[in-house]
Amino acid sequence: MPQNDETLLLRLQTNEVEFVVIGGVCAVLHGVSMLTFELEICCRLGYENLKRIQAAVVDLHPHHRLTTNKLPLEISEEVASRLKNLYLQTDLGKLDCLGEVAGIGDYESVFKRSEIKKMSYGALRVLDIDALIDAKAAVGRGRDLEAVKQLRAIKERLSS
C-alpha cells in the first residue's frame, strides 16, 4: 500500500472518523496484487463525521476532484445534508468517501460486514473478504472482476 494511503488512514483514525476501508486498498490488504489510485472508504456522511474528515485533511489543500472549478472542501450542515459521496483530491492523493457500497448497502450494512485488520501502524476496519467479493462483483468493471478472481483464490487458500 502506498505510504500516502497509510498517512491518510492514520489521519482519519487520529480524527476519529467512522469509516471502513473498501475498494482497491482493501483488496490489497487482503492480498490481491493490483495497483490502486485512490483510497476509498465507506463512512457516515453526517455533519459530525464529515467535520472529522475535514479536520483530517484540512492542511492537505482538499478540494472536490469531480468539479470543474476544484471547489475547496467546506463542510456545513446544509452541504452535509445533501452529500451522498465525497470525492476529494488532497496533497497526499485521492480520497473517496462513499455513503454506500454497491452489492452491500449503506454504512451500517458495510460496518456489519467488516473486520479489524491489524497493520504495523494500527488497526483498521476493512470489508471482510466475502463482502469485498460481493462489492467488486456488483461493480463489474474488468479490474474489479480480476480482483474477484484473486480474492476467491485467496479465500480458497485460506480455508484449506
In a domain, 157, yes or no: no
Distance CA 51, CA 78 (A): 12
Q: What residue type is 139 in one-letter code?
A: V
Cell numbers found for residue 26:
482493501
CATH of the domain at 71: 3.30.460.40
Per the structure, the count of domains in the chain is 1
In a domain, 44, yes or no: yes
Q: Average pLDDT of 21-25?
A: 94
In a domain, 145, yes or no: yes
Distance CA 88, CA 70 (A): 9
Range of the domain at 17: 3-152
- Rounded to two decimals, the pTM is 0.94
Q: What is the pLDDT of residues 85-137, one digit of tens each?
A: 999 999 999 999 999 999 999 999 999 999 999 988 789 999 999 999 999 99
Contacts 24+ apart (CB under 8 A), 64-70: 64/88, 64/89, 65/89, 65/94
